[in-house]
Structure 1
């Protein structure tokens, strides 16, 4: 069951204050979860509302659990919350990573590995790197061999983190007006800087999503943790 109110919020969850548990056929269902967010307000929702929350909210609650910061809850409540969160997180990971033939769930790995990004255009070899391509929404960048290549916003999922970070760093230097030796010697126009910011925003969104998915996979992967878990690549 879901609550009748909208539970969506951009504020981070900083505490789980209370739980109400209903037990059916040996399974403990979270009837009501009360959390405190960064705006210092209380929010109430049910286990059925997990799919309406941001995935960042799921990560916040998992971090509070594994860091032992829910001492206000008793053992049964912490166990019930742990089971519910990990079951939901496992479902998210499966949907993203595994191809289910019966449900025709598209494989995340297929998106990345089976088709290469469309990086080549015959007319970009003499174009200025890190400028926008004229026909489609994309940026011309230089690869490791100093060749001009095309990065399209609708194909960011096909690029590695290293390539995305490399292009982002160059575009950020252009957008902020920093003169670097590796950048082409030219005066960057206001339009160049604006298009660079658009691509930076798209790259940041993709990298943040990948960090979040890796973090959730670690929570359900059974791997041991060491040190302060708040350093576990918290997405910002």
Structure 2
């Protein structure tokens, strides 16, 4: 089906690469008015250019540091001034987590930046956008947990990452509770290992940990951003108006086996 998101105004973070880029492009292709943001102006502009070339333009505010409340306010203000509401908020952006075991992790330079980059920025965006979501009288918040919100890893020291994504999972359930009376639905997507620029820099897809994850999938491959974007399309659409407080594992079956 085409135009599943026609007429919807969608705020999407992290549009410069990876899952955020995939969601922004897919939402635009499905008819949404997308207002994106990214901390990297060059990568955000490449996404804007790709959308324009495809004939499904998107808007972007960049650079935006989502840990900076003034930047978040400036981004959300664009939707407020141009549209007066937002039907969808997708918190796809995240700062790459620091990997260290508990006995080696530094609180100030590793733990706190990871929590800020995975939890605080979601809070800032939700709080700033909340009045616009209320104004839509039927809105959807889509946050990103992870398979590691529910399990640890024997192969990577993911202490802060697990804590951050676990917090996003729990926070989203409470957002669903608080948003219910205003028609705001809130759900999480929990991706498995997805091939993105960030995971490539970390050496994951082709490295030993990536091969272990691939072997654990039931479909024999790692994910790509569009795998996640299609789930986000569903959660943003009117097809999911009775879906809230839920977590969707999109992981190739890793959590099933």
**What TM-score comes out, normalization by structure 2 length?**
0.26
Higher helix content, 1 or 2:
2
Higher relative contact order (CA 8 A, sep 6+): 2
Larger radius of gyration: 1
**What TM-score comes out, normalization by structure 1 length?**
0.28
